[in-house]
Amino acid sequence: MLSPDLSNRVALVTGSARGIGRDLVLAAADAGADVAVHYNTSEAAADETADVARELGASATAVGADVTDPDEVDALFSAVEAELGSVDVLVNNVGDFAPRHWEDLEFETWNRVVDTNFTATYLCSKRALPGMRESEWGRIVNVGYAGTEKALVYPKNFPYFVAKTGVVMFTRMLANDTQDDGITVNCVSPYVVETSDEFPDHAPRGRWATFEDVRQVVFFFLDEGSDYVSGENVEIDGGWIPEAL
């Protein structure tokens, strides 16, 4: 397993009270970073995750915010900066899922899926950039979905596919816009992770992706030796292709 040296770095992982986000923020702490555990409603779980990060030797804070709201995003980063310092590593992990036919989705649900996946990625990245540009170093990793780069589309869960396609496009754009700033921007796109709420009939290679599978790619992007890799999207799908739908 790759393990970049994140000593003297500050890492913020959105949606890191539970699941993949929790795994990534604790992995960053174990790699030497001071970490911010972000939550929206899961305060107790976020506090517990921050406690575990401290046991790993990191300075850690748990901060709540609705990352679809510009004012709350600004308050989130201001709190992290006051407690730990400027954010060097940002993982945009937040993203709701609504596996229902598009015509059956309430307007509020449609907006929530698009906003938590796409708008939150835009808002958090924009807020992180001034500090990264000032220090001339930064790593942004966005979380996409396998197949959206190939224009995967399906009537069920449609706004999720739209939002994740936007995340991949945003990743490429931001990589181009930061190429002279010492910042890399990349995307990891799992298919189905072992803790998912829904599972298709067939698992590529006989299993679903693990947290370790996702972490391996994220750590590659965070490594100092990957500073020429930017604007990339790595699908963690075991060889699955959307044409098989």
Q: Which residues contact 136 (CB under 8 A, 6 or more apart)?
A: 181, 182
Longest Cα–Cα distance of the chain, Å, equals: 49
Please report how many Cα atoms fall inside a 13 Å half-sphere around the Cα of residue 80, on the Cβ side: 32
- The Cα–Cα gap between 220 and 232 comes to 12
- The Cα–Cα gap between 170 and 230 comes to 12
Q: What is the pLDDT of residues 68-117, one digit of tens each?
A: 999 999 999 999 999 999 999 999 999 998 889 999 999 999 999 999 99
| Portion of the chain with pLDDT greater than 70, in percent | 98
32 belongs to a structural domain:
yes
187 belongs to a structural domain:
yes
Domain extent for 20? 10-244
What is the count of structural domains for the chain? 1
Joined together, the tokens standing for residue 76 give 């989130």
What's the pLDDT at 195? 79
Coil/strand/helix, residue 57: coil
143 belongs to a structural domain:
yes
Average pLDDT over residues 41-64: 97
CATH number at residue 213: 3.40.50.720
Please report how many Cα atoms fall inside a 13 Å half-sphere around the Cα of residue 95, on the Cβ side: 28
Joined together, the tokens standing for residue 210 give 């693990």
126 belongs to a structural domain:
yes
3 belongs to a structural domain:
no
1 belongs to a structural domain:
no
